[in-house]
Amino acid sequence: MRRRAILIVSASFVASILVAALWPGQREPEYGGKKLSEWLVLYRHALPDVLGGPPVPSREVQEALRKIGTNSLPCLMKWIAHEPVAWKERVLLTYLRLPPSARSEAVEEWLQENGGREWPLAIAGFGFLGPDAAPVVPELVRLAQASKSIEHQRFLVSCLRVIGTGARPALPYLRVLAADHRNPVSLEASFAVERIETMSTNSVSGPVAN
């Protein structure tokens, strides 16, 4: 009887693992046969370079992202909410201090595979949506306040920055962060405050006549 109970519990445990492993995750929105992430890769690669200027995203890419619209928000939040494992970050920093001859490429790649791969795509997605991403701003602030990863916090603050005027509710948090010059994220917060305030001022005053 006891053996049978153990077998049942074990079978249930295995089944739960299989369900978790095989159950389809939240599907990405699609348009024109491409997933959101594929469109965002094209969009991000076509954004004007800070130094080089053009290229710019094609009309096809912009149209696809417009059609997907705010349906992208659940995926963008899922991607940006993924916080790296803290101990892996610490080990990687120590590991990178070793001389190249003492390091293994395979080990380095494993340590670097610590989440965050989709963070740049999330920033691109929030940047395209701009103020339309305003509904997720409180959650982005909450994630930034709770995150123990400096790099994760930087990306979250960058998300608020590219949302622009829609991120005005985040200004009190960002101003406090920007004022704390001992905080490694203070510079990113300063950039975010400047952009949000500038865009907010421009949206109130309207376009300047030539």
Burial environment of residue 170 by CB neighbours within 10 A (0 to 12, 13 to 18, 19 or more): buried
From CA 51, how far away is CA 48, in angstroms rounded?
A: 8
If you search the block for the tokens 């096809």, which residue do you land on? 60
Residue 111's pLDDT is what? 65
**Full-model pTM:** 0.73
**Smallest Cα–Cα separation from 58: which of 68, 73, 40, 43?**
43
Residue 115's pLDDT is what? 60
Helix crossing, 150-163 with 119-129: angle to 10°? 20
Residues in the chain with pLDDT values less than 50? 2-3, 5-24, 50, 207-210
